[in-house]
Amino acid sequence: MSELVDFERVESTHSQAERNRLMTHVVQLYALTTDRINPELLAVYDDVLVRLADLVEEEALAFVAEKLAPLAKAPRGMVRKLANEPISVARPVLEQSPLLSDEDLTEIVTEKGIDHMEAIAARQDVAPVVSSAIIEHGNNPVKVKLTRNEGAKITDDSYAKLVKDSRGDESLQSSLADREDLPVGVVRALVDVASVSVRRKLLRHGRPEVAKRVTEAAGLAAERLSNEQWLLRYDFEAAYRSVCKTLKTQPVNEAAVATMARSGKFPEAVVMFALCAGVALEEAKHWSVRADPKPFLIVCKSMRFSSDTVAAFLKLGPWLRRLDREERERAMFDYESLDQGMAEQIFSEWKKRRVNEAA
């Protein structure tokens, strides 16, 4: 080490400007001879540069970072030290250095700020584990930069989080829509949350599943609007208060649902149904008014409701007008044909998805 720098003299007699110049001279010498440096001398340079780094100003460190960043063979300890400096120093190393491992980069993502994440997101190659860390800890502008980087590898789970985070953020939706590696399930999920312009972009990309999903999403939106118009006719708040009073003497079970359904008390029956199923009232309301009652039938089958209870419900509220006799008979045939185990599995998976979406 003394062959390169006399640290005792540097620390005792050199001015700050002299220390800065010494640092730049050492790194320039290294850059000129890097292809001829053996492992032993590389270790010496690493020790010298790391020690000098504590003696020089930020401007000198920034110069070193620019010199070392593109090198395939550089003092790794110094590169790691530079990567953890303020972003004015660290940026070129974070963006370019091949010597930073995925573990190094992930640690920097979790411990440093947004600026460091942004630089890492711009690397030529970003491993899945690093992308996942950025998606977990970064803000949406950083996620936009990452998703616009074709060299960033992103897992299905991370894509799911990105779609969730993109709600109301057209920039993130747009950058996702431009990705060539989107799984089919992610494309479908993105269509459901995307703005009109982003949906058009997805259609222009010519993916066959998009056109179908856009049509489905438009249909679902129209149906939901229609459902809302039907539901506005009923006072569910008053029904909820009424049901809560009955719970003092009436248990939450199928019999309670059946009693309210046969009495023509649609909102009360829906509230009791929601309590039985353990779902949000909003979900139960929409299941109980859809032109296609299949979701309602699956939930009822999973709870082992009798055909009589289901039949009473299908003659209640909006279904009294939205379903004709033939549709009601078809629904009952479907209910009685529905496999118990399959219904339980579908409802269980639906509840798990809801929990994950809320997390």
Residue for token pair 């030290």? 81
How far apart are alpha carbons 102 and 153 in whole angstroms? 12
**Distance (Å, rounded) from C-alpha 294 to C-alpha 223?**
14
**Side chain identity at 94, as an amino acid letter?**
L
Q: Return the pLDDT at 84.
A: 96
Cβ atoms of 10 and 22 within 8 Å: the answer is: yes
- 8 A C-beta contact, residue 298 and residue 338: yes
Structure-token pair, residue 218:
């438009």
CA 60 to chain centre: 39
What are the tokens at 214? 């856009």
Let me know if 226 is exposed, middle or buried by CB neighbors in 10 A (0-12, 13-18, 19+): middle
Widest CA span of the chain, in angstroms?
Answer: 100
Block mean pLDDT (10 aa), the chain, length 359: 55 71 87 87 88 88 95 94 96 97 97 96 96 97 96 94 93 90 81 80 63 53 58 88 89 93 93 94 89 92 96 90 87 93 91 74
Cα separation, 61 vs 275, in Å, equals 64
Its pTM stands at 0.58
First to last CA, the chain: 54
| DSSP designation for 338 | S
The CA distance from 89 to 91, in Å, is 6
C-alpha dihedral, 92 to 95 to 99 to 103, nearest 10°: 130
For residues 136 and 122, the answer to whether their CB atoms sit within 8 Å is no
At residue 172, the pLDDT reads 96
3-class state of residue 28 by DSSP: helix
Please tell me the distance from the alpha carbon of residue 146 to that of residue 118, in angstroms, as a whole number: 8
Three-class DSSP category at 152:
strand
